[in-house]
Amino acid sequence: MTNPFEIKDIRVYVLKPGSKGGTYFKAGEGHWLVDTLISNPMHAYPEYREKRSSWGINVLGSLIVEIESADGTIGVAAGSGGMPAAWLVRHHFDRFLRGQDSRNTNMIWDQLFRASLPYGRKGLTIFAISAVDLALWDLIGKVRGEPVYNLIGGRSRDEINFYCTSPHAKAVQDLGFFGAKVPLPEGPYDGEAGLRRNVAYLTEQRAAIGPDYPLMVDCYMSLDVPYAIRLAEACKLLNIHWWEEVLSPEDIEGYRQIKQAHPTIKFTTGEHEYTRFGFRRLIEERTLDIVQPDVMWVGGMTELLRIAAHASAYDVTVVPHGSGPYSYHFITSQTGPAFCEYVAASPDGRSIQPVFGSLFMGEQLPQNGKMRLSDAPGFGMELADHDMLARVE
Residues with catalytic roles: 321
CA terminus-to-terminus distance, the chain? 31
Beta pairing partners, 13: 64, 391
Residue 314 to residue 291: CA distance in whole angstroms: 12
Tell which residue, 355, 349, 351, 288, has the closest CA to residue 328: 355
Find the Cα–Cα–Cα–Cα dihedral 238, 242, 247, 250, rounded to 10°: 160
Least Cα distance to 280 among 313, 328, 248 occurs for 313
Q: Which residues contact 41 (CB under 8 A, 6 or more apart)?
A: 220, 221, 222, 248
The upper half-sphere exposure of residue 65, i.e. CA atoms within 13 Å in the direction of its Cβ, equals 32
Residues contacting 75, CB < 8 A, separation 6+: 66, 67, 68, 69, 102, 135, 136, 137, 138, 139, 140, 141, 142, 378
Q: Residue 64 in contact with residue 22, Cβ under 8 Å?
A: yes
Q: Which amino acid is it at 14?
A: V
| DSSP secondary structure of 363-392 | ----BTTEE-----SBTS-EES-GGGEEE-
181: CB partners within 8 A, 6+ apart:
163, 164, 165, 166, 215, 216, 217, 218, 244, 341
